[in-house]
Amino acid sequence: MFAVENALRSVLADYLEECFGRMDWWTLIRNARLNGQTYAAFPNILGTPVNPAFVKAVWRVFDNMTVAQHINDVTGPNKTDEFYYCLTLGELWTIMQADWPLIRDMFASDAALGFTFTKTMFNHTMRVIKETRNELFHSNPIKERKKIFEACERILNGLQFHLGDYDHDLGAAQYVRVSPTVARAQRHVIPAR
């Protein structure tokens, strides 16, 4: 699931650089916001027409950004893809669905996929992924594994990745357990399960 989120960030960054001609296109919106303009000042980004909802979604990211490290990461000159690493999965999803005609070509064609990948299907798929991610974040078990597997596979396949490749790489990963350095004491409780 986290592979899907990272794949979306990476492919979106490259794709929007291709669309707008600059990796740091988002700094134009950042700077306009700082200079007192509104999102309505952007009928296009560097000559590429965009839906106002797309600009508004990016604008909101800056409005809602509160993590000091994220603010620092997107502030100043000489920026590239830092913006994408500050996005929550929900923000990423909102930006992408805000201008589906622009974003759709980021994914493989319907002919290559073997089905019609509509905005409705994208939103349904992202909802499944986001809800499952929230369950994991709160240490809850995944209820419908087949459903989340299919959702992840649908997005990765659309991005020209194969879920089996990720699974293979994870299968080859080795975890080295680090021993605790604090001695177990009577005062330690068993964590909630």
What tens digit of pLDDT does each residue of 162-181 get? Answer: 888 877 777 787 888 888 88
Is-contact 135 129, C-beta < 8 A? Answer: no
When pLDDT is averaged across residues 109-134 and rounded to a whole number, the result is 96
When pLDDT is averaged across residues 78-95 and rounded to a whole number, the result is 96
Q: How far is Cα of residue 179 from the mean position of the Cα atoms in its chain? A: 34
Check residues 183 and 46 and name the one with the higher pLDDT. Answer: 46
What is the structure's pLDDT at 175? 80
Q: How far apart are CA 183 and CA 139, in angstroms?
A: 26
State yes or no: pLDDT of 192 exceeds 70.
no
State yes or no: pLDDT of 193 exceeds 70.
no
In this prediction the pTM is: 0.86
State yes or no: pLDDT of 6 exceeds 70.
yes
What are the Cα distances from residue 79, in Å, to 26, 86, 96? 9, 13, 21
State yes or no: pLDDT of 118 exceeds 80.
yes
Confidence of residue 185 (pLDDT cuts 50, 70, 90): confident
Quote the tokens at residue 64.
């809602």
- Interacting residues of 18 by C-beta distance below 8 A, sequence separation 6+: none
Number of neighbouring beta carbons within 10 Å of residue 73: 15
Instruction: Please state, rounded to an integer, the average pLDDT across all residues of the chain.
Output: 93
